[in-house]
């Protein structure tokens, strides 16, 4: 049987629409800042993509700044909030390192908003913390990259706005997998990444609302409305726009994977525990922990059988370590054994079934070896 790719939360397969759009852009000539015909054509490509990415999250095109990816987007959001007068930072306990490391680097006091056993932000804690005054920057991801758990963002936003704070939402995993409305969520800034939804790697965006003033990310010619200098990555932007448009129209199809995911979890029974099972989750994300079956061993066993998954997040230079998300949820005992299975726009029900077959076989072999050693 052919290989099965179930690590879409790490990076998605590039959509045919994105390949076509990026290829056409690469075959064309013209700097978007030039005023001749070729330059105007390149500018039109960039602005059409901006419209598509804006539509993905329900904002006006002028709210979108193209950057190198979700990491740069979150870095720019934190830097901008600090320069705009935020004097303290609150980050969710399960945030991506792009946010937590940027917060640490800011030099401001950083507090961590805890999550409950299902991975949901503790809004009672947040409400109390916001009473301390100052102008806080609050960073919460919309959907967790390991568990798929979706935070109650609108409720969190109401608390942040009442405190006069700035809410940054990391929507890198959520966009293209669930309906996202920037204004309904109450975000001030929102990070996006093309390669998580079927666009090219190395291109992302930051959406900013009227309450947010963005700082200059790079000095130079003043591209991206002065927010990020440097000639725009036209092929990457074109691919991002095409992927955004395709993913928006495919949300209903992707939602069908929730049933396939849950069927696999049922098959595994008490051999593995599902993290975040009691919370709203992305439809194509399954986070499991199997006692005494180390994450890296699970990943290698499945890889040898032609099924590709990951051990938690895949954004730490190839390192496999205990899941900080599981630890934040109060599951220290489960953290070393966490794996993540994630589907995407090309995933089939058979792919999910194949994962279940291969995992059960691998777990049985592992259990037999443990019993023999004992």
SS3 130: helix
Cα distance between residue 76 and residue 90, in whole Å: 16
Q: Kindly report the pTM of this predicted structure.
A: 0.95
Cα distance between residue 170 and residue 142, in whole Å: 6
Output the pLDDT for position 226: 75
SS3 161: helix
CA dihedral sign of residues 157, 159, 161, 167 = negative
> Do residues 138 and 125 make contact, with C-beta atoms less than 8 angstroms apart?
no
> Do residues 65 and 208 make contact, with C-beta atoms less than 8 angstroms apart?
yes
Cα distance between residue 331 and residue 147, in whole Å: 13
Give, as one character, the DSSP assignment of residue 143.
Answer: B
The tens place of each residue's pLDDT in the chain, 374 residues long, gives 689 999 999 999 999 999 999 999 999 999 999 999 999 999 999 999 999 999 999 999 999 999 999 999 999 999 999 999 999 999 999 999 999 999 999 999 999 999 999 999 999 999 999 999 899 999 999 999 999 999 999 999 999 999 999 999 999 999 999 999 999 999 999 999 999 999 999 999 999 999 999 998 778 888 888 788 888 999 999 999 999 999 999 999 999 999 999 999 999 999 999 999 999 999 999 999 998 999 999 999 999 999 999 996 554 545 567 899 999 999 999 999 999 999 999 999 999 999 999 999 999 999 998 888 76
315 is catalytic: yes
- Each domain of the chain, given as residue ranges in start order, spans 4-12+252-373, 16-249
Q: Which of 113, 139, 287, 315 is catalytic?
A: 315
Kindly report the backbone phi and psi dihedral angles of residue 193, in degrees, each rounded to the nearest multiple of 5, phi listed first: -140, 135
Maximum separation of any 2 CA atoms in the chain, in Å: 76
Output the pLDDT for position 318: 53
3-state secondary structure 282-293: CCCEEEEECCCC
| CA nearest to 225, candidates 62, 84, 51 | 62
The highest-level CATH class for domain 16-249 is alpha beta
pLDDT tens-digit readout, 182-223: 999 999 999 999 999 999 999 999 999 999 999 987 788 888
DSSP alpha helix (H) spans, the chain:
16-27, 37-57, 70-83, 97-105, 123-130, 153-162, 182-185, 234-249, 251-255, 257-268, 295-304, 324-328, 349-373
* Residue partners of 273: CB distance under 8 A and separation at least 6: 288, 289, 290, 334
Cα distance between residue 339 and residue 257, in whole Å: 18
* Residue partners of 316: CB distance under 8 A and separation at least 6: 97
Q: Among the CATH numbers 3.30.1600.10, 2.60.40.10, 3.90.1150.10, 3.30.450.40, which is that of 4-12+252-373?
A: 3.90.1150.10
How would you label 304-334 residue by residue, b for 16+ Cβ within 10 Å and e otherwise?
Answer: ebebbbbbbbbbeeeebebbbbbbbbebeeb
- 119 sits in the region (left: phi over 0; alpha: psi -120 to 50; else beta) called left
Question: 125-131 long-range contacts, Cβ below 8 Å, gap at least 24?
Answer: 126/90, 126/156, 126/159, 127/159, 129/90, 130/90, 130/159, 130/160, 130/162, 130/163, 130/165, 131/163
């Amino acid at each position: 049987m052919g290989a099965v790719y179930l690590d879409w939360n790490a990076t998605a397969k590039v959509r045919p629409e994105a390949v076509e759009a990026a290829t056409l852009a690469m075959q064309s000539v013209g700097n978007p800042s030039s005023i001749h015909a070729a330059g105007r054509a390149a500018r039109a490509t960039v602005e059409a993509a901006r419209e598509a990415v804006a539509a993905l999250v329900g904002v006006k095109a002028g709210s979108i700044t193209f950057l190198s990816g979700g990491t740069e987007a979150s870095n720019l959001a934190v830097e901008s909030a600090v320069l705009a007068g935020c004097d303290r930072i609150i980050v969710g306990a399960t945030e991506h390192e792009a946010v937590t490391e940027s917060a640490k680097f800011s030099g401001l006091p950083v507090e961590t908003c805890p999550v409950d056993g299902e991975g949901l932000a503790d809004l009672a804690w947040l409400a109390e913390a916001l009473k301390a005054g100052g102008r806080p920057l609050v960073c919460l991801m919309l959907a967790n990259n390991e568990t798929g758990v979706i935070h109650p963002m609108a409720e969190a936003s109401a608390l942040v706005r009442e405190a006069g704070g700035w809410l940054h939402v990391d929507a890198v995993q959520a966009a293209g997998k669930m309906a996202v409305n920037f204004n309904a969520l109450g975000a001030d800034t929102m990070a996006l990444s093309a390669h998580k939804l079927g666009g090219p790697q190395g291109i992302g965006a930051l959406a900013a609302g009227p309450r947010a003033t963005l700082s200059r990310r790079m000095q130079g010619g003043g591209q991206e409305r002065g927010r990020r200098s440097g000639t725009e990555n036209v092929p990457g932007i074109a691919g991002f726009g095409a992927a955004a448009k395709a993913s928006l129209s495919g949300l209903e199809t992707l939602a069908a994977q929730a049933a396939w995911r849950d069927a696999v979890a049922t098959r595994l029974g008490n051999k593995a525990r599902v993290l975040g099972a009691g919370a709203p989750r992305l439809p194509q994300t399954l986070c499991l922990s199997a006692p005494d079956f180390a994450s890296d061993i699970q990943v290698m066993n499945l890889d040898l059988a032609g099924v590709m998954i990951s051990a938690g997040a895949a954004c730490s230079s190839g390192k496999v370590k205990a899941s900080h998300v599981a630890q934040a949820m109060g599951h220290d005992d489960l953290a070393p054994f966490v794996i993540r299975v994630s589907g995407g726009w090309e995933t089939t029900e058979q792919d999910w079934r194949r994962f279940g077959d291969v995992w059960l076989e691998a777990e049985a072999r592992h259990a037999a070896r443990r019993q023999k050693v004992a």
